């Protein structure tokens, strides 16, 4: 017969005294039955509403999303079973393969650039902040501020600043004697995606910074002391001790960056529009999925079957990366314990 | 000894300060310019984009608040955020308590069931969700948003709160039980007050993304009077797109509540929003 909570189970094992009571286990047997029943009732009361809500609005839609991908659709009405037909169309019927490859490639660029610019900068800032410079607390608060702002606000703010004629960015460049560099940052296919990724990095930079900072501060001081006494330079301390011990934080940030990059939607939608202009230079999977699901503005093309197929592929990729990241962290934790 | 050992005096200390300062400028200058522009006229914004406003007039704010339905947008965002966070925290605490303090068959399974929600982005299920909301007659109501935010926030709430409940000493609830307290009283009077820090984390972790969300309102809400702030902003930008003074005033107005709250509660915000990525 199981005793109370998990924690109680551990407490029992640790202490020589017999455990006083679990919810049911250690009670007098005569009252066992009614207590069992009332305990069941309480469990239903505590768990029932949450399970019902979660099952209806999370599990059921996710399972349906998988199911939808193997049916044909007319508008919002489900038709016949088509097996993998939607996936075949996604990969073989014009214009889907081209759109898919284009959007996927952009997600990859966003991920790589975010890793390179935002997360490396975050790591650098964290390494500096971890040395406890004057004002470190204030810097922490300032750096994290944009993370709390809505991407809609951030996107619109930068769109105004980057306006080719009236925006302050080109005016500032001109004032600095760099008028030659001024360009329509968001209107030029060469620079639009990179600019958008940098706006995103402006908003998010504080997040990896503080996650890395927490990771560095968790490194035991004795390790750093010992290394310095052995004559290790600062660079060596960072490379040989801090970075290896930072692996869990790095895993978390890489995983979250990946999921964020492949879920990218708000910023390109708000700043550029649903079709990923100019000329699909900022089209990403999130926009493509949205357009196939709810209809394209320019062509009126709506195909819930193909849209669901895109969703399933994204589920698989993101679920795999998230699971892999979680498993790696779990293994690391066990190793370190 | 410890703090000193983390900052050996070296030559690159001025460089480090320069880097920190540069990043602070990079973060703050755009926001300050946004705020300053909100007081200017459009002509002033174009002619003297970096200067202080000639007069500190609130005219732009007034215009935006009255003409552009900002009052409605704020109210909708507030209703949706408060309602969904309340449901989510209450149900999350009840679930966390049951999973963290009771042992029963299926406990682990249920825990993993909720946690699976952390791995799968719910937005990808937007097509079935749209059809579900339509069948329930919830499209274009604030309820559609409240329900999806409450439901999709449960995994993180259950994860954080179950962990907290598990760490509480075993004697607490047993003692109360011996005293004859009912399960509900034990839960609300004994256990809940002890996990208050976790409740704060769960609230902030969810409230900020819910307040800022754009995706679900975009799909579920059509009526202008029911739009939340982020969605309303896009309508507003479409209407005023050449009126820079109004646009900057609108942006500043929309950003202000969160910034003000952040200034007061920054440590809670940082802890809450990095929960899950940072231990402890």
- What is the 3-state secondary structure of chain A? CCCCCHHHHHHHHHCCCCCCCCCCCCCCHHHHHHHHHHHHHHHHHHHHHHHHHHHHHHHHHHHHHHHHCCEEEECCEEEEECCCHHHHHHHHCCCHHHHHHHHHHHHHHHHHHHHHHHHHHHHHHHHHHCCCCCCHHHHHHHHHHHHHCCHHHHHHHHHHHCCCCCCHHHHHHHHCCCHHHCCCCCCCCCCHHHHHHHHHHHHHCHHHHHHHHHHHHCCCHHHHHHHHHCCCCHHHHHHHHHHHHCHHHHHHHHHHHHHHHHCCCHHHHHHCCCCCCCCCCCCCHHHHHHHHHHCCCCCCCCCHHHHHHHHHHHHHHHHHHHHHHHHHHHHHHHHHC
Closest Cα in chain A to B214: A266
Question: By percentage, how much of chain A surpasses pLDDT 90?
Answer: 65
A190-199, A326-335, B179-188: least confidently modelled range: A326-335
B25-32's contacts with Cβ under 8 Å and 24+ in sequence apart are B26/A202, B27/A142, B27/A143, B27/A145, B27/A146, B27/A202, B27/A205, B27/A206, B28/A142, B30/A157, B30/A158, B30/A161, B30/A202, B31/A145, B31/A146, B31/A157, B31/B255, B31/B259
Q: What is the pLDDT of residue A16?
A: 35
Whether B213 has a pLDDT exceeding 70, the answer reads: yes
Higher pLDDT, A62 or B6: A62
Cβ distance of A20 and B266 shorter than 8 Å: no
Average pLDDT over residues A245-253: 91
3-state SS assignment for residue B25: helix
Average pLDDT over residues B226-232: 96
Q: What is the pLDDT of residue A297?
A: 61
Nearest to A305 by CA among B127, B215, B267: B127
Of A46, A215, A326, the CB nearest to B95: A46
3-state SS assignment for residue B141: coil
User: Shortest Cα distance from A267 to chain B (angstroms)?
Assistant: 10
Whether B4 has a pLDDT exceeding 60, the answer reads: no
Band (pLDDT 50/70/90 cuts) for residue A39 is confident
Which positions in chain A touch B5 (Cβ < 8 Å)? 221, 224-225, 228
Whether A278 has a pLDDT exceeding 90, the answer reads: yes
Interval B72-86: pLDDT, tens: 999 999 999 999 999
Average pLDDT over residues A124-149: 94
Average pLDDT over residues A14-32: 40
Of A46, A139, A157, the CB nearest to B98: A46
Average pLDDT over residues A173-186: 91
Interval B163-172: pLDDT, tens: 999 999 888 8
pTM of the model: 0.90
Question: By percentage, how much of chain B surpasses pLDDT 70?
Answer: 95
Average pLDDT over residues A143-163: 96
Cβ distance of A68 and B215 shorter than 8 Å: no
Whether A23 has a pLDDT exceeding 60, the answer reads: no
Which positions in chain B touch A64 (Cβ < 8 Å)? 125, 128, 131-132
Band (pLDDT 50/70/90 cuts) for residue B3 is very low
Cβ distance of B31 and A145 shorter than 8 Å: yes
Q: What is the pLDDT of residue A37?
A: 83
Which of B42, B45, B103, B203 would you mutate first to test chain A, the one with the most A CBs within 10 A? B103
Closest Cα in chain A to B184: A42
Band (pLDDT 50/70/90 cuts) for residue A284 is very high
Average pLDDT of the residues of chain A: 87
Band (pLDDT 50/70/90 cuts) for residue B10 is low
Interval A213-238: pLDDT, tens: 999 999 988 888 898 888 888 888 88
Highest mean pLDDT pick, A27-36, B9-18, B185-194, B270-279: B185-194
Whether A4 has a pLDDT exceeding 60, the answer reads: no
Which positions in chain B touch A214 (Cβ < 8 Å)? 274, 278-279
Which of A17, A31, A44, A50 would you mutate first to test chain B, the one with the most B CBs within 10 A? A50
Q: What is the pLDDT of residue A336?
A: 66
Question: By percentage, how much of chain A surpasses pLDDT 70?
Answer: 88
Interval A90-121: pLDDT, tens: 999 988 999 999 999 999 999 999 999 999 99
Band (pLDDT 50/70/90 cuts) for residue A195 is very high
Of A59, A168, A224, the CB nearest to B49: A168
Q: What is the pLDDT of residue A277?
A: 92
Q: What is the pLDDT of residue A28?
A: 42
User: Shortest Cα distance from B170 to chain A (angstroms)?
Assistant: 5
Whether B19 has a pLDDT exceeding 70, the answer reads: yes
Whether A25 has a pLDDT exceeding 80, the answer reads: no
Higher pLDDT, A33 or A142: A142
Interval A59-82: pLDDT, tens: 999 999 999 999 999 888 888 999
- B275 secondary structure, DSSP code: B
Q: What is the pLDDT of residue B144?
A: 98
């Amino acid at each position: 017969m199981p005793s109370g909570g998990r924690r109680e189970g551990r407490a029992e094992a640790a202490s020589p005294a017999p455990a006083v009571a679990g919810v049911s286990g250690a009670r007098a047997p005569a009252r066992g039955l009614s207590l069992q029943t009332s305990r069941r009732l309480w469990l239903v009361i505590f768990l029932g509403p949450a399970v019902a809500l979660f099952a209806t609005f999370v599990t059921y839609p996710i399972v349906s999303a998988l199911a939808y991908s193997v049916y044909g659709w007319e508008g919002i009405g489900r038709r016949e079973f088509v097996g993998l037909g939607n996936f075949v169309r996604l990969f073989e019927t014009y214009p889907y393969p081209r759109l898919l490859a284009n959007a996927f490639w952009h997600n990859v660029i966003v991920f790589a650039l975010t890793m390179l610019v935002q997360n490396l900068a975050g790591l650098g800032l964290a390494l500096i902040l971890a040395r406890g410079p004057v004002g470190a607390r204030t810097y922490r608060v300032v750096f994290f501020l944009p993370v709390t702002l809505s991407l809609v606000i951030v996107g619109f703010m930068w769109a105004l600043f980057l306006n080719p004629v009236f925006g302050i960015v080109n005016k500032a460049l001109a004032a600095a004697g760099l008028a030659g560099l001024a360009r329509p940052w968001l209107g030029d296919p060469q620079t639009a995606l990179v600019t958008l990724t940098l706006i995103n990095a402006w908003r998010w930079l504080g997040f990896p910074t503080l996650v890395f900072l927490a990771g560095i501060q968790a490194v035991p001081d004795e390790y750093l002391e010992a290394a310095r006494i052995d004559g290790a330079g600062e660079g060596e301390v960072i490379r040989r001790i801090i970075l290896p011990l930072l692996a869990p934080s790095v895993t978390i940030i890489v995983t979250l960056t990946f999921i964020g990059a492949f879920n990218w939607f708000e910023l390109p939608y708000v700043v550029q529009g649903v079709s990923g202009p100019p000329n699909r230079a900022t089209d990403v999977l999130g926009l493509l999925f949205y357009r196939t699901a709810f209809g394209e503005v320019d062509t009126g093309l709506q195909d819930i079957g193909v849209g669901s197929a895109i969703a399933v592929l994204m589920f698989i990729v993101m679920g795999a990366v998230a699971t892999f990241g979680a498993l790696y962290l779990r293994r690391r934790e066990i190793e370190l314990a | 000894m410890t703090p000193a050992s983390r900052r050996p005096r070296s030559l690159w200390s001025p460089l480090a300060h320069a880097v920190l300062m540069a990043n602070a400028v990079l973060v703050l200058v755009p926001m300050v310019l946004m705020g300053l522009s909100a007081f200017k006229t459009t002509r002033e914004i174009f002619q003297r984009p970096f200067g202080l406003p000639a007069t500190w007039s609130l005219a732009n704010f007034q215009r935006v608040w009255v003409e552009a339905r900002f009052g409605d947008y704020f109210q909708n965002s507030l209703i949706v955020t408060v309602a969904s966070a309340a449901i989510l925290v209450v149900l999350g605490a009840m679930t966390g308590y049951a999973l963290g303090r009771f042992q029963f068959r299926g406990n682990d399974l249920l825990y993993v069931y909720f946690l699976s929600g952390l791995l799968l982005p719910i937005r990808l299920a937007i097509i079935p969700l749209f059809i579900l909301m339509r069948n329930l007659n919830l499209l274009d109501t604030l309820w559609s948003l409240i329900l999806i935010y409450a439901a999709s926030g449960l995994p993180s709430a259950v994860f954080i709160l179950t962990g907290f409940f598990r760490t509480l000493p075993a004697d607490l609830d047993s003692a109360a039980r011996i005293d004859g307290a009912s399960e509900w009283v034990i839960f609300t009077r004994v256990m809940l007050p002890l996990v208050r820090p976790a409740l704060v984390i769960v609230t902030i972790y969810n409230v900020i993304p819910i307040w800022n969300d754009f995706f679900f309102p975009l799909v579920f809400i059509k009526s202008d009077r029911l739009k939340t702030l982020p969605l309303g902003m896009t309508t507003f930008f479409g209407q005023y797109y050449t009126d820079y003074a109004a646009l900057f005033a609108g942006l500043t107005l929309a950003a202000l509540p969160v910034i003000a709250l952040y200034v007061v509660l920054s440590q809670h915000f940082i802890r809450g929003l990095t929960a899950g990525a940072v231990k402890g």
